[in-house]
């Protein structure tokens, strides 16, 4: 009955891949245009490895599929697990809030920070990356729903922040990220995703320095990924649909 049984993880992962493929078809989007990020908070290392191995096995039969990404919320968990995944070489993203005193730790394990929610944080990351001679992928997190519990910049400030971030040396703006509205109303959830896409388009259409790479829309989770794919998501972040329900803390 373990939620972490490798066979369960493999079959749930296949189920999520079919959902994404069906959503791409329904939206008239090219197969493979949406990448899957596994949100691995609270999932033990063995579960994460099982998912990566299942993904590699599935892709051996389907060369068009792109590898899953890994997303961690907490820097502590990120640095604890990432070194034990190196043999499987996943692309690892930070998708949770980053305090400035954890920037160095985050940089040691993540190749992308999706949760940049202030220019001050971006500047701190940029300074460290420039000093280290590297370029970090980042996304600006936008709070499209306005829910007080959600992180991210206000939609009214999102274009300005994204343009400022795009102009920083040491960072490459890849796009925008949001956590959708927590609502049973699909129209409300969907309009938030539509807003994120409009912000992304405005950023790219500006033609400002560093904005050409800002193509990604990281939006949609286990419960609502179809709505996000319909609105143009390029990355959906899925936890429970692959790993089963998380233990309550
Ligand atoms: C947990 C989490 C997810 C995945 O949520 P599920 O409902 O388990 O699919 C996606 N994004 C973020 C930022 C998360 O914290």
Reported as a single tens digit per residue, the pLDDT across 125-144 is 999 999 999 999 999 999 99
Ligand 1 binding pocket includes 39 (Cβ within 6 Å): yes
What's the count of helices (H) and strands (E) in the chain, helices before strands? Answer: 9, 8
**Alpha-carbon distance 218 to 93, whole Å?**
11
pLDDT of 6: 82
The set of residues, in sequence order, having a beta carbon less than 8 Å from that of 30 and lying 6+ positions away, is 24
Q: Map out the domains of the chain as residue ranges.
A: 6-242
Q: Is the pTM of this model over 0.95?
A: yes
Which of 12, 16, 71, 226 is the pocket-test mutation for ligand 1 (most atoms within 8 Å of CB)?
71
Q: Using the mean position of ligand 1's atoms as its centre, give its distance from the Cα of residue 99 in Å.
A: 19
- Tell me which residue has its CA closest to atom 11 in ligand 1: 237
**pLDDT at position 3 over 60:** no
The residue whose two tokens read 């079959």 is 11
CB-ligand 1 contact for 244 (6 Å cutoff): no
List the single range of 111-115, 147-151, 197-201, 213-217 with lowest mean pLDDT. 147-151
Tell me the C-alpha distance between 139 and 26, whole Å.
27
Query: Exposed e or buried b for every residue in 81-105, given b needs 16+ CB within 10 A?
Result: bbeebeeeebbbbbbbebeeebbeb
Other beta carbons within 10 angstroms of residue 37's beta carbon come to 25
pLDDT digits (tens, 9 = 90+) for 68-110: 999 999 999 999 999 999 999 999 999 999 999 999 999 999 9
Instruction: State which of 239, 247, 248 you would mutate to test the pocket of ligand 1, scoring each by most atoms of that ligand within 8 A of its C-beta.
Output: 239
pLDDT at 35: 98
CATH of domain 6-242: 3.20.20.10
Output the residue whose Cα is nearest ligand 1's atom 2.
39
157: left (phi over 0), alpha (psi -120 to 50) or beta: alpha
What confidence category does residue 26 fall into, taking pLDDT thresholds of 50, 70 and 90? very high
* 3-class secondary structure, 55: helix
């Amino acid at each position: 009955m373990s939620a972490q049984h490798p066979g369960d993880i493999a079959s749930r992962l296949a189920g999520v891949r079919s959902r994404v493929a069906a959503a791409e078809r329904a939206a008239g989007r090219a197969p493979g245009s949406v990448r899957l990020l596994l949100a691995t908070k609270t999932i033990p290392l063995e579960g994460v490895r099982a998912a990566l191995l299942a993904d590699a096995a599935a892709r051996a039969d389907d060369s068009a599929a792109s590898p899953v990404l890994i997303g961690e919320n907490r820097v502590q968990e990120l640095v604890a697990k990432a070194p034990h995944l190196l043999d499987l070489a996943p692309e690892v993203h930070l998708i949770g809030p980053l305090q400035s005193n954890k920037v160095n730790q985050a940089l040691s394990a993540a190749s992308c920070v999706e949760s940049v929610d202030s220019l001050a944080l971006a500047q701190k990351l940029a300074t460290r990356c420039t000093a280290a001679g590297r370029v970090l992928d980042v996304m600006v997190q936008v709070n499209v729903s306005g829910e007080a519990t959600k992180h991210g910049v206000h939609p009214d400030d999102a274009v300005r922040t994204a343009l400022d971030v795009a102009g920083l040396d040491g960072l490459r703006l890849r796009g925008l990220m949001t956590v959708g509205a927590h609502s049973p109303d699909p129209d409300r959830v969907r309009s938030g995703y539509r807003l994120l896409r409009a912000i992304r388009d405005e950023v790219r259409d500006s033609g400002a320095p560093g904005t050409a790479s800002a193509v990604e829309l990281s939006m949609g989770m286990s419960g609502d990924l179809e709505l996000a794919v319909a609105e143009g998501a390029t990355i959906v972040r899925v936890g429970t649909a692959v790993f089963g329900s998380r233990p309550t803390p």
